Amino acid sequence: MTKRRAASASDERPYHHGDLRSALLEHAVRILRTEGLEALTLRAVARAAGVSQTAPYRHFADRRALMGAIAADGFRELDRAMGEAMAQGGGREGFKGIAVAYVRFAQANPALYHVMFGPEVANTADLPELRGAARSALGFVQSGLEQLQQVGLVKPGDAAIMAVACWAALHGLVSLILDGQAETVTPDIDALVESTAQLVMFGLAPRVGTTGR
């Protein structure tokens, strides 16, 4: 009777999935969330997907390229979350909803958020997909500000610069929350989010003739 040789991790295994790239990203995010950033390697993703160690290289030149794709997907998810929040109401309340959605996204996806804003993909010169996704998310905030400017709920000015300022305020709050620093001030994270959103909106309000909610 012939003994069957035990399969090894280095075996070349064919992959019969219709979309290898999506499957690899799905497994990569799962590893990121369950095992952490240090465990995320192309070899680990290949092993989790049940493919050969060389298979991921068909879509990702290296770990950095994989990280860029993960971050790009994260920004698209964030964009959708902010869009859904804005659709729930107009005016300042709708814009405040964007701020809340931003923080909630980061709280629900801390590992993914750290990748999105981490040093490994900070330079997007060679990561056009990530650069486009990040700009799209920021552009959504800018578009919301421009709409509020048109109805007099936000003061005149460069909406692009205002959008970056809003992003900076929210990113700072998220960093404090995810690092556990916010809890040294108050355990009421909802109050912090509300206060930050109010401060942002107060700073954007026209000096005279404020209208709307």
Identify the structural domains of the chain with CATH numbers, from first to last: 16-60 (1.10.10.60), 67-204 (1.10.357.10)
Gap between the Cα atoms of 179 and 164, Å rounded: 22
Supply angle C-alpha 87, 90, 161, rounded to 5.
95
Greater model confidence, 51 or 5:
51
Burial 84-111 (b: 16+ CB within 10 A, else e): ebbeeebebebbbbbbbbbbbbbeebeb
Question: CB of 184 within 8 A of CB of 78?
Answer: no
Instruction: Report whether pLDDT(58) > 60.
Output: yes
The pLDDT tens digits of the residues spanning 64-111 come to 999 999 999 999 999 999 989 888 877 778 888 888 899 999 999 999
Greater model confidence, 138 or 200:
138
The pLDDT tens digits of the residues spanning 136-192 come to 999 988 988 898 899 888 899 999 999 999 999 999 999 999 998 887 777 788 888
Query: For residue 205, what are the CA distances in angstroms to 87, 159, 160?
Result: 21, 13, 16
Select from 52, 65, 44 the least CA-distant residue to 20.
Answer: 52
Query: For residue 16, what are the CA distances in angstroms to 13, 49, 187, 198?
Result: 10, 11, 49, 51
Section 123-146 average pLDDT: 92
Gap between the Cα atoms of 173 and 189, Å rounded: 10
Token pair for 155 = 């003061």
The per-residue pLDDT for 10 is: 38
Token pair for 87 = 């659709």
Q: Give the per-residue SS3 of the chain.
A: CCCCCCCCCCCCCCCCCCCHHHHHHHHHHHHHHHHCHHHCCHHHHHHHHCCCCCHHHHCCCCHHHHHHHHHHHHHHHHHHHHHHHHHCCCHHHHHHHHHHHHHHHHHHCHHHHHHHCCHHHCCCCCCHHHHHHHHHHHHHHHHHHHHHHHCCCCCCCCHHHHHHHHHHHHHHHHHHHHCCCHHHCCCCHHHHHHHHHHHHHHHHCCCCCCCCC
The per-residue pLDDT for 74 is: 96
The per-residue pLDDT for 178 is: 92
At 212, the pLDDT band (50, 70, 90 cuts) reads: very low
Say which range, 33-37, 131-135, 139-143, 195-199, has the weakest mean pLDDT: 195-199
Select from 62, 59, 71 the least CA-distant residue to 22.
Answer: 59
